[in-house]
Amino acid sequence: MIIEKIDKSRFTPEIFNIQSFGTAFADHMLVCSYKDGKWGEPIIKPYGKLEFTPAMSVAHYGQGIFEGMKAYKGSEGDVFLFRPEKNFERMNKSAVRLDMPEIPEEIFMEGLKALVDLDRQWVPDIYGMSLYLRPVMFATEEAITARSANEYLFVILTAVAPNYYNKPLSVKVADRYSRAANGGVGYAKAAGNYAGSFYPTHIAREEGYDQVIWTDDATHTLIEEAGTMNVMVRIGDKLLTAPTSERILNGVTRDSMIELAKSSGIDIEVRKITVEEVYNAHKSGELKEVFGVGTAVVVNNYVAVGYGDERLELPDLPLEESYGKSLKKKLVDLQMGISEDPFGWRIKVEEKLVEA
Amino acid sequence: MIIEKIDKSRFTPEIFNIQSFGTAFADHMLVCSYKDGKWGEPIIKPYGKLEFTPAMSVAHYGQGIFEGMKAYKGSEGDVFLFRPEKNFERMNKSAVRLDMPEIPEEIFMEGLKALVDLDRQWVPDIYGMSLYLRPVMFATEEAITARSANEYLFVILTAVAPNYYNKPLSVKVADRYSRAANGGVGYAKAAGNYAGSFYPTHIAREEGYDQVIWTDDATHTLIEEAGTMNVMVRIGDKLLTAPTSERILNGVTRDSMIELAKSSGIDIEVRKITVEEVYNAHKSGELKEVFGVGTAVVVNNYVAVGYGDERLELPDLPLEESYGKSLKKKLVDLQMGISEDPFGWRIKVEEKLVEA
Ligand SMILES: Cc1ncc(COP(=O)(O)O)c(C=O)c1O
Ligand SMILES: Cc1ncc(COP(=O)(O)O)c(C=O)c1O
């Protein structure tokens, strides 16, 4: 690993007041290029522009995958990652489906830790805030022909993360547009999945909603997931979430919430959820909560779910009565190093991993 | 329009011997950026690298669309475009679906003509060759947050085009993977559609095929289209092609072939085609031809269609007996200015449109 340190840090404490997500980049980034069938040496260098040809294939054919994770700072100043091996594994699953080279564990893990260690002052020690970590890989080959590229760049970017949404969301159940096909790339964190979702989200916004809850593309009868969140539904005192499938991203937060729910004695069931049962549960007064879970949003308890022309309003339960809010607190407490970690999810980033 | 001419052209006649598609870029490119809700002034400048941040949103969220068209040189030295207004319209349909700004007709059309005029020596005057034209638009905003970008770059690249495939192809009918969802982006020329198709194509190649014929994702029973081609099937003396839909790209070549078939007295029908009827037609000896049609490939008569574990071999008909080959000749003759153009499809690129 080559380290090129920035001459003078751009850090100022005011950066922690940032309101927008994914724009306040820390001092450094990691870059590593793939060519002639092999990965080169990773380089940590000042964050900034690079030279690319506009013929680079990701801009034409969309071979791009990414991950989203966070670094947290505890009250003692320790910096933690949360289940980073999950993101590493998922990144390589995405790589296989997009016909891209897998990234070696050492480059991903050691690179990530070294980068976070070097920019540790950028990790906010503020409850609910974090440094967002964005591993990304994209095709850079200078060739406009529709085939897998032979050259790629793996990059890790980091940016100070305020709350992703500073309000509870309202979501529209998809009845016209879709995010993923059977036999498609829905389970991968593939660039194209997001681009395809923006227009339907735009339409939903015009109808007064913030996000879309995706359903299966053939019948629009099954609840799948939301924009950048898996979805959990509470009917009565039972918490439900859809099984992952080739159409649904296997979220790390979803998995962690399932474990936390179980260990909290919440009755949670992983099974298919129909739009109809959610609608009926609302009519009968049994629909207590619907919430989205994901790294960026953590947990967002929805205020309303749109179904056709109807807007199903949801109650705003207090923390102690809400599964979503109470599990969110458990999760964040664990991530920030406030509570015990019986699962072994928290990984401390050692200091001075890197000799610069 | 700003024109920055190259100091010294990189053109040499040997470039016309190139074998690989999409790598021999001509001297210039057109770039035009979108920011603050409006398009800037288009600039024609020497082809080459530009500076981009690795946080640019296309690499993360896949907002990228493109077009593919060609410039042809007739025996008198005239340079022609072929139905460019079709590509312009489709580009903007793609833009809407991907929640990207539409490109004004003037920038697209005048930019394209000026660029081709300036680099007209790069258009081969060799039958069957052309200068491939690649309008592309992608998100450049420096923000890693899953929403539509606010900044884009529109670029037109051009590259000397040899035959896309120098052999007839064999294709595998998809029975596991899919290209497009109902309510998805299949009809758009969206970057992510291609990335998603590479791995299934990779698998097909391992099974001895060159490309995949996509089927509907819910049942895999309907023939849709191939990698970068629409598909035509000849059963007996009837030519069939699937109707376009939200899952299928509305190809300019497909449309032109339908018109040429009609005007040649070929019995052509646009209707759904089942995998089963193609299979049965092969068994009964009625399956005469299956071919792909698209700008890059023009027309490619397949030698075999794979269905499950079976490889359905197709006869190699001589030009005068083959619908695919005879229509291909009609199309190329028209494009190259050799035959009459009763349809008004050929657009001559005037000389010195640009005062440099
Ligand atoms: C489509 C989609 N679903 C769900 C999630 C949640 O996954 P995770 O909890 O691993 O962040 C994400 C990622 O943020 C996502 O992009
Ligand atoms: C997916 C797909 N289908 C079909 C086609 C054929 O379209 P056209 O004839 O306009 O080139 C293309 C474009 O090349 C394509 O990318």
Give me the pLDDT at residue B270, please. Answer: 98
Kindly list the residues from chain B whose CB atom is less than 8 angstroms away from the CB atom of residue A143: 20, 22-23
Q: Pull the structure tokens for residue B50.
A: 């530009």
Closest-CA residue in chain B for A61?
A: B191
For residue B289, give the 3-state DSSP assignment: strand
**A76 contacts: CB under 8 Å, gap ≥ 6:** A337
CA distance A43 to A28: 10
**Residue among B293, B211, B287 nearest B248 (CA):** B293
CA distance A346 to A341: 7
**Residue among B196, B232, B191, B241 nearest B217 (CA):** B196
Contact yes or no for B227 and A49 at CB 8 A: no
Q: Whose atoms come closest to the Cα of B84: which ligand?
A: 2
Q: Which residue bears the tokens 């690989």?
A: B20
pTM above 0.95, yes or no: yes
Which tens digits make up the pLDDT trace of A6-55? 999 999 999 999 999 999 999 999 999 999 999 999 999 999 999 999 99
Give CB contacts under 8 A, 24+ apart, made by B31-35. B31/A54, B31/B153, B31/B154, B31/B155, B32/B103, B32/B107, B32/B111, B32/B153, B32/B154, B32/B155, B33/B140, B33/B151, B33/B152, B33/B153, B33/B154, B34/B101, B34/B151, B34/B152, B34/B153, B34/B154, B35/B150, B35/B151
User: Residue B352 Cα, ligand 1 centroid: separation in angstroms?
Assistant: 53
Classify domain B169-335 by CATH number.
Answer: 3.20.10.10
Give me the pLDDT at residue B167, please. Answer: 87
Instruction: Tell how far CA A118 is from the center of its chain.
Output: 23
Shortest CB distance from A183 goes to which of B20, B60, B217? B217
Kindly list the residues from chain A whose CB atom is less than 8 angstroms away from the CB atom of residue B169: none
Per-10-residue mean pLDDT, chain B, length 356: 97 94 96 98 98 98 98 96 98 98 98 98 96 98 97 98 85 97 98 98 97 97 96 98 97 98 98 98 98 96 97 97 98 97 97 66
Give me the pLDDT at residue B114, please. Answer: 97
Backbone φ, ψ for residue B229 (5° rounding): -145, 145
Which tens digits make up the pLDDT trace of A110-143? 999 999 999 999 999 999 999 999 999 999 999 9
Kindly list the residues from chain A whose CB atom is less than 8 angstroms away from the CB atom of residue B192: 62, 185, 190-193, 195-196
Shortest CB distance from A153 goes to which of B54, B97, B159? B54
In angstroms and rounded to an integer, the radius of gyration of the C-alpha atoms of chain B is: 21
Q: Nearest-CA distance from B145 to chain A in Å?
A: 5
Amino acid found at B332: V
Cα–Cα distance list, B72 to A323, B84, B259, B329 (Å): 65, 12, 20, 14
For residue A61, give the 3-state DSSP assignment: helix
Q: Whose atoms come closest to the Cα of A83: which ligand?
A: 1
Residue extents of the structural domains in chain A: 2-163, 169-335
Q: Pull the structure tokens for residue B80.
A: 């022609």
Kindly list the residues from chain B whose CB atom is less than 8 angstroms away from the CB atom of residue A192: 62, 185, 190-193, 195-196
The bridge status of strand B38-39 relative to strand B28-35 is antiparallel
Cα–Cα distance list, B63 to A59, B58, B262 (Å): 8, 5, 38
Classify domain B2-163 by CATH number.
Answer: 3.30.470.10
C-beta of residue B192 within 8 angstroms of C-beta of residue B179: no
Quick one: which atom of ligand 2 is closest to the CA of B252?
10
In angstroms and rounded to an integer, the radius of gyration of the C-alpha atoms of chain A is: 21
**A249 contacts: CB under 8 Å, gap ≥ 6:** A186, A187, A188, A189, A225, A230
Vertex B115 angle, CA B110 and B120, to 5°: 125
CA distance A268 to A259: 9
**Torsion angle of alpha carbons B186, B189, B192, B195, nearest 10°?**
100
Please state, as a whole number, how many other Cβ atoms lie within 10 Å of the Cβ of residue A93.
Answer: 16
Quick one: which atom of ligand 2 is closest to the CA of B179?
1
Quick one: which atom of ligand 1 is closest to the CA of A253?
9
Q: Do domains A2-163 and A169-335 have the same CATH topology?
A: no
CA distance B35 to B152: 7
Which tens digits make up the pLDDT trace of A201-243? 999 999 999 999 999 999 999 999 998 999 999 999 999 999 9
**A91 contacts: CB under 8 Å, gap ≥ 6:** A65, A66, A67, A103, A108, A135, A137, A189
Give me the pLDDT at residue A163, please. Answer: 77
Contact yes or no for B146 and A20 at CB 8 A: no
pLDDT band at A166 (very low <50, low <70, confident <90, very high): confident
Which tens digits make up the pLDDT trace of A252-271? 999 999 999 999 999 999 99
Give me the pLDDT at residue A25, please. Answer: 98
C-beta of residue A25 within 8 angstroms of C-beta of residue A157: yes
Q: Which residue bears the tokens 């089942």?
A: B274
CB neighbour class for A77 (10 Å; exposed up to 12, middle 13-18, buried from 19):
exposed
C-beta of residue A297 within 8 angstroms of C-beta of residue A229: yes
Please state, as a whole number, how many other Cβ atoms lie within 10 Å of the Cβ of residue B243.
Answer: 10
Give me the pLDDT at residue B105, please. Answer: 98
Contact yes or no for B145 and A23 at CB 8 A: yes
CA distance A330 to A319: 11
Kindly list the residues from chain A whose CB atom is less than 8 angstroms away from the CB atom of residue B191: 58-62, 191-192, 195
DSSP output for A207-276: TT-SEEEEE-TTTS-BEEEETTEEEEEEETTEEEEPPP-TTS---HHHHHHHHHHHHTT-EEEE---BHH
Q: Pull the structure tokens for residue B40.
A: 């800037």
Give me the pLDDT at residue A167, please. Answer: 87
Give me the pLDDT at residue B163, please. Answer: 77
Q: What's B111's DSSP letter?
A: H
List the single best residue of A25, A132, A199 to mutate versus B (max B Cβ within 10 A).
A199
- Interface ipTM > 0.95: yes
Residue A230, ligand 1, Cβ within 6 A = yes
CA distance B52 to A308: 42
Pocket probe for ligand 1: among A228, A246, A258, A328, the residue whose CB has the most ligand atoms within 8 Å is A228
C-beta of residue A193 within 8 angstroms of C-beta of residue A179: yes
Q: Nearest-CA distance from A237 to chain B in Å?
A: 32
Shortest CB distance from A176 goes to which of B48, B183, B296? B183
List the single best residue of A144, A157, A163 to mutate versus B (max B Cβ within 10 A).
A144
Pocket probe for ligand 2: among B81, B230, B299, the residue whose CB has the most ligand atoms within 8 Å is B230
**Residue among A158, A157, A155 nearest A32 (CA):** A155
Contact yes or no for A62 and B59 at CB 8 A: no
Share of chain A above pLDDT 70, in %: 99
CA distance A140 to A37: 14
Kindly list the residues from chain A whose CB atom is less than 8 angstroms away from the CB atom of residue B195: 61-64, 98-99, 185, 190-192
The bridge status of strand B43-46 relative to strand B64-66 is unpaired
- Atom 13 of ligand 2, residue of closest alpha carbon: B228
Shortest CB distance from A191 goes to which of B25, B55, B192? B192
